[in-house]
Amino acid sequence: MKTLARIMFGVFALVSVAAFAQDQFATMRSSTPLADNAAPRPMSKPENTDLRQVRNYPEQPPLIPHAIDGYQVDKNSNKCLTCHARAAVADSQAPMVSITHFMNRDNQFLASVTPRRYFCNQCHVPQTDARPLVENTFVDVDKVIDYVKSKEGAK
Amino acid sequence: MLAFLKRLWTIVRRPSVHYSLGALTLGGFLMGIVFWGGFNTALELSNTEAFCTSCHEMQDNVFAELKTTIHYANRSGVRASCPDCHVPHNWTNKIARKMQATKEVWGKIFGTINTRDKFLEKRLELAQHEWARLKANDSLECRNCHSSDSMDITRQSARAVEQHERFLFTGEKTCIDCHKGIAHRLPDMAPTAMLSSDGEDAGTVRAQLLSFIAGHEGAAAGARSLD
């Protein structure tokens, strides 16, 4: 009888550990069984502040500080360029497409945006108010330099 | 033929022999109601989305595109159907537009845009007609719903406020100037494409451009030979 109780306890312990492990590694699906469809979370809202965001590092493509729902960017037309093109900036007062975007792969400047830089969303993205799924430990380069300097000063 | 017309004229001119004035007046009145009512019913029937999309040209191309836009589905459930934007609501203008639309019946019969390729090829021209129409009537069909008086710009995003204050309220531009392609996909918007379908011959433009460049090169060569 005692052995049976021990075995039962062991099985319980294993099952609970397995269940705990499942919770631990839960993904965006959360605990919904694989065969079922999880109820989707409410869609997060696009940030539409029109305020330029700081770049986290100098080479970062600037973020889009406005909603871009339904923007047509294809062979026929580029909605972004209706405001951000060189000739459109006077009317729109939007930042002009960077001059680097006029350069082809041989560093030759073209009259307008080069085809390889035509699809804005390849690099530039808008933001939403969604909470990050994992914690981000990114540190700005200025902070890194400050940290290094403080270490050197301490020496 | 002339004799027949003369006989008809005498019949019309002669006072009625068998029918009383009352019967004729009442009959005319009733027939008036029937014909006028019938005309207006037919007019309104041809002014519905169901009628527009009964042709595959509209169903497969422009209507399919409309479905992804905010004028078809949005948070408040208000929805614009084809004639809301493409047919004037005022009666006289509506009749004028309907008369123009007989060209579309011609196009339907002869299959001007009865394939996807034909439609895409013709799309810029068709779009330009609509842009010209909306430009000419100061975007009337937009303003039937979107009144600039009722527009609360404090609820708009900062750049929308700026643009509307600068261009809409001053009357410098009209809705369609900036809001092209909001309900359907845009055709090729490159300036060269615009030129060729504006009626101006693309070949002529290219020739002018080439002669312009040649002239400049000549001048440059002249300048070089001087020094």
CATH number, domain at A104?
1.10.1130.10
pLDDT of amino acid B154: 92
> What mean pLDDT do residues A91-101 have?
93
Residues in A closer than 8 angstroms to B67, CB to CB, are none
Whether residue A1 lies inside any domain: the answer is yes
Mean pLDDT across A23-40: 72
Residue A139 counted as domain residue = no
Question: Looking at chain B from residue 164 to 183, which residues have their Cβ under 8 Å from any Cβ of chain A?
Answer: 167, 178, 181-182
- Whether this model's ipTM surpasses 0.85 comes out as no
- CB pair distance less than 8 Å for A50 and B157: yes
Q: Tell if the CB–CB gap between A67 and B186 is shorter than 8 Å.
A: no
Answer whether residue A135 shows pLDDT above 70: yes
Between A1 and A138, residue with greater pLDDT = A138
pLDDT at A155 over 70: no
A66 Cβ contact list (under 8 Å, min separation 6): A46, A47, A48, A49, A50, A126, B157, B159
Cβ–Cβ gap B157/A67 under 8 Å: yes
Subunit contact A76:B157, Cβ cutoff 8 A: no
pLDDT-derived band at B225 (thresholds 50, 70, 90) equals very low
pLDDT band at B214; cut points 50, 70, 90: confident
pLDDT at B92 over 60: yes
Identity of the amino acid at B183? A
Asked if residue A45 belongs to a domain, the reply is no
Distance CA B154, CA B160 (A): 10
How far CA B94 is from CA of A54, B84, B87, B202, in Å, comes to: 52, 11, 6, 35
A34: domain range? 1-40
B185 has a chain A CB within 8 A of its CB: yes
How many domains does the structure of chain A reveal?
2
**Looking at CA atoms only, how far is residue A69 from chain B in angstroms?**
9
In angstroms, the CA A121 to CA A123 distance is 5
Structure confidence at residue B226 (pLDDT): 46
On whether residue A129 sits in a domain, the answer given is: no
Confidence of residue A15 (pLDDT cuts 50, 70, 90): low
Q: Is A71 part of any domain?
A: no
Higher pLDDT, B83 or A9: B83
Summary mean pLDDT of chain A: 84
Taking contacts as CB-CB distances below 8 angstroms, the residues of chain B near A68 are none
Q: Is there a domain that residue A95 lies in?
A: yes
Q: Provide, as residue numbers in chain B, all residues whose Cβ is less than 8 Å from the Cβ of A76.
A: 185-189
Residue B192 has pLDDT above 90, yes or no: no
The reply to whether residue A75 touches residue B159, judged by beta carbons under 8 angstroms, is no
Domain membership flag for residue A20: yes
Q: pLDDT (tens digit, 9 = 90+) per residue, B24-80?
A: 999 999 999 999 999 999 999 999 999 999 999 999 999 999 999 999 999 899 999
Model-level pTM greater than 0.80? Answer: no
The answer to whether residue A73 sits within a structural domain is no
